[in-house]
Amino acid sequence: EEGYLIGASVASAIGFIGSAKANVDFKPMFSFQLGPVRVSRSRANTLLHSGRKAYETGLSTDLLRHEGFSLGASLRWDNGRHIEHDPRWADLEDVPSTARVRLSARWTMTPHWTVSLSGDKDVMGRGGGVRVNTSVGYRHVLSERTFWDFTLSAGGGNRTFMGTTYGVPALAAATAGVDAYAPGGGLESIQLGADLAHSLSRHWVLFGGVTLGRIAGPARNSPLIDRVSTWGATLGLAWRGGF
């Protein structure tokens, strides 16, 4: 009833931490229904329908949908962080992978404007803490088959999340020749995204996008931060079925 999607994308991005070289990744994507639960990876959740209906990434289910408002829950995997090929941080522990439970609310105010708010928590006790994110989205329709989605979002976390992700303990700080740093909770980053989707046919959809991000709040003062601004770009193709 809800359809399914399979596809892949090539993504290039540079982050706040680590090498100045952009990483290029091949990302498979899929989205399908298992009873009341939807399984989705990467951007598949937003590409499945050309309308405003969207699902969370990971294992997700609807708790409520009514007249443009939706409330959902999801379980997703967080890959953590590993700083490679940088001897400065030889004594800095990796951020471990963990499972996160997420609650999200989304309100489609008009055919063009959408507001969302979400929060997720590390449920495996691996120092992931709590994160929150809020965003405002605008959809510009070029034709029945083509549209742009522009999104402005901001995210942050509690002291546990910020400390694990951006903190530098004394041993690692001494090795790197910097001061130890223990951030409090607060804002982490602000991001602007522009995503284009074009339906080549009833089933095939071509998509791409760019993102610009800027580190903010307590995270910006971390000795780990190599740059305050980042970017990313994606191009992909997917096939939708079951409609």
- What tokens were used for 226? 């190599």
Stated pTM of the model: 0.89
Mean pLDDT for 51-67 is 77
Question: Could you say which architecture CATH assigns to the domain 4-241?
Answer: Beta Barrel (2.40)
Q: Is the pLDDT of residue 57 over 70?
A: yes
Q: Is the pLDDT of residue 192 over 60?
A: yes
Quote the DSSP letter at residue 224: T
SS (H, E, C) the chain: CCCEEEEEEEEEEECCCCCCCCEEEEEEEEEEEECCEEEEECCHHHHCCCCCCCCCCEEEEEEEEECCEEEEEEEEEECCECCCCCHHHCCCCCECCEEEEEEEEEEECCCCEEEEEEEEEECCCCCCCEEEEEEEEEEEECCCCEEEEEEEEEEEECHHHHHHHHCECHHHHHHHCCCCECCCCEEEEEEEEEEEEEECCCCEEEEEEEEEEEECHHHHCCCCCCCCEEEEEEEEEEEEECC
Could you tell me the pLDDT band of residue 21, with boundaries at 50, 70 and 90? confident
Q: Is the pLDDT of residue 51 over 50?
A: no
**Residue 112 contacts residue 136 (beta carbons within 8 Å):** no
Could you tell me the pLDDT band of residue 52, with boundaries at 50, 70 and 90? very low
Could you tell me the pLDDT band of residue 1, with boundaries at 50, 70 and 90? low
- Show me where the domains of the chain are located: 4-241
Q: Is the pLDDT of residue 121 over 50?
A: yes
